[in-house]
A and B are shown apart, each in its own frame.
Chain A
Amino acid sequence: MKIKDGFMLRRFGDDSIVVAVGEGAEDFNRLITLNEVGSFIYKQLSEDKTLDELAAAIVEAYEVDEAVARADAEAFVLNLDKAGLLDG
């Protein structure tokens, strides 16, 4: 899975905001706010990644347990998908 085309992430302080750009922008009026870990996962998903790969990246970056990383990744991915940002 990866982030669909047509979204832009911009960092403000510790958090980030995702906005829609391009052709889809008119249908997607919402703004999505991400915390630091959220932004990290979002950036990972600019390229196609599996859940295992995401969890591994989180473990490496934040030195957390594999199980915690996986749970975080899953929860985040579900939210991204619900918000309509994910492809595949």
Chain B
Amino acid sequence: MIFTFKIADIPFSADIRYRYTYDTMRDYLFDGEPDFHIEITDEDLARERELSPHDLPEPMHESTAVYRKYIYIIMERYDAFFFHCSSISVDGQAVMFTARSGTGKSTHRNLWMKNFGDRVKIINDDKPVIRKVDGVFYVYGTPWRGKEGLGENVRCKARALCFLSRSETNSIGEIDTVSVVTRALNQTVRPSEPKLMSNLLELLDGFITQVSCYDLRVNMDDDAAITAYNGIFGNEKGKANED
């Protein structure tokens, strides 16, 4: 059946056959005209099955196939890219944590929620979309929320990107541009088509000039979140919320 969704403020229709995909995407249903249409073929599902490291039920492959097609189209047409990270909003501003799997992104994110309570919300725990709108970078929630299914249909202005690693003691520091770009490129879909790749690099260039990027080394104590918070927001405690 064909449904229309709006993800990252981009309306599109998709022909989906599984209830699972519908349920995954239902928070993003949209009553309006789509910009484009996504059709999932048997070949697309077979390809996802091949790419997946796990033996998953077919409906999950459909959801991933929609995501993959959507991502390629928005990279081409909307100044947007996907970024594999856990993203939270802190007083309305987006902070992203990225790391190799198993580093403890969820643990760290939980420390923020514990220490800052209602000021922190999860935007998306796995695959948010980053999009530049009128020169400003935003982090958008998407239906693809990761293992714990956490996230909302919201957008927040991108404030900080933290490359997370584990350490005995907590510290947050600056990170050089090329390291940011190479690490970021390892956490996104890298298109092979030269024009798309060129768009992505251009977008990343803008992203890193606008969004502060940090090398964040943490343990699992409360101090980890506090150190990170102070490093990111240190100079403006008590400042009014920004949208």
Contacts and interface: CB of A to CB of B under 8 A. Distances in A.
Contact of B185 (A15, A23, A26, A31): A31
B197 A19 contact: yes
Contact of B201 (A19, A22, A33): A19
A43 interface: no
A10 interface: yes
A50 B198 CA distance: 29
A21 B192 contact: yes
Contacts of A26: 192
Given A8-B197, A8-B198, A25 B185 contact: no
Interface residues of A, number: 16
B177 A21 contact: no
B174 to A, nearest CB: 13
A12 B194 CA distance: 18
Nearest to A25: B192
Contacts of A25: 190, 192, 197
Interface of B: 176-178, 181-182, 185-186, 190-194, 197-198, 201, 205, 208
Interface of A: 8, 10, 12-13, 15-17, 19-23, 25-26, 31, 33
The 4 nearest A-B residue pairs measured at CB: A25-B192, A10-B201, A21-B194, A15-B178
